């Protein structure tokens, strides 16, 4: 590199130009062109909505998809997806979801869920109605639990047998830890 400026610029080497070969014409096919795919042919993974730990919201949540609550929510939650209540979160209201994972506090009833997972730090003050219940040691439940009954089973019970069947299949815990 020179310290002074040359009055004539250096000649740049000429780059070689590459032309791709022209596409060959294809013979006319007897099959019709493929039809465009439907817009919703592949169902996208369910999205998750999050209520952050520093938020307090009052209202109603309804819809499809998953919901994760890390803050405080007062109102009903009805989703066609999973509901996760994080440790330190507090929900006051009724819940309907496919799967409920509870590490925080729920003051209200789970009216319908295929599966409920109560983690070690989870607290429930309300009734639970689910197909499957998982309870970790250290979690707390205060309320009526109906577990393992399908909608069909609960409709076939007659009023005279429902009280004895319900009492034998349900658990009522007033306080203490579930093991």
Burial, 36: exposed, middle or buried (Cβ in 10 Å; 0-12, 13-18, 19+)?
exposed
Q: What is the pLDDT averaged over residues 129-156? A: 84
Q: Higher-confidence residue: 41 or 38?
A: 38
Judge whether residue 170 has pLDDT over 50: no
Q: How much is the pLDDT for 3?
A: 66
| Cα-Cα-Cα-Cα dihedral sign, residues 59, 101, 148, 144 | negative
Q: What is the pLDDT of residues 10-34, one digit of tens each?
A: 555 555 565 666 666 665 555 555 5
pLDDT class of 43 with cuts at 50, 70, 90: very low
What average pLDDT does the structure give for the chain?
Answer: 77
Judge whether residue 169 has pLDDT over 90: no
Task: Report the predicted TM-score, pTM, of the whole model to 2 decimal places.
Answer: 0.61
Judge whether residue 140 has pLDDT over 50: yes
Judge whether residue 165 has pLDDT over 50: no
Q: How much is the pLDDT for 94?
A: 96
Q: How much is the pLDDT for 95?
A: 96
* Rounded-to-integer distance, Cα 142 and Cα 105, Å: 12
Structure tokens at 138: 């250290």
- Secondary structure element (H or E) that encloses residue 168, with its range: helix 159-169
Q: How much is the pLDDT for 163?
A: 37
Q: How much is the pLDDT for 69?
A: 96
Judge whether residue 97 has pLDDT over 80: yes
β-pair type (82-85, 171-173): unpaired
Q: How much is the pLDDT for 47?
A: 87
């Amino acid at each position: 590199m020179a310290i002074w400026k040359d009055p004539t610029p250096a000649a740049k080497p000429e780059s070689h130009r590459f032309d791709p070969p022209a596409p060959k014409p294809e013979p006319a096919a007897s099959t019709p062109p493929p039809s465009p795919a439907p817009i919703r042919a592949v169902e996208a993974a369910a999205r998750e909505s999050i209520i952050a730990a520093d938020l307090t919201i009052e209202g109603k949540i309804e819809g499809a998809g998953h919901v994760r609550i890390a803050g405080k929510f007062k109102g009903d939650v009805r989703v066609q997806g999973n509901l996760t209540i994080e440790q330190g979160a507090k929900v006051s209201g009724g819940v309907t979801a496919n799967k409920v994972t509870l590490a925080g506090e729920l003051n209200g009833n789970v009216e319908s869920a295929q599966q409920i997972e109560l983690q070690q730090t989870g607290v429930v003050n309300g009734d639970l109605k689910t197909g499957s219940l998982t309870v970790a040691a250290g979690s707390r439940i205060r309320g009526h639990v109906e577990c393992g009954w399908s909608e069909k089973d609960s409709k076939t019970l007659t009023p005279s047998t429902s009280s004895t069947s319900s009492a034998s299949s349900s658990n009522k815990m007033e306080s203490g830890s579930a093991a």
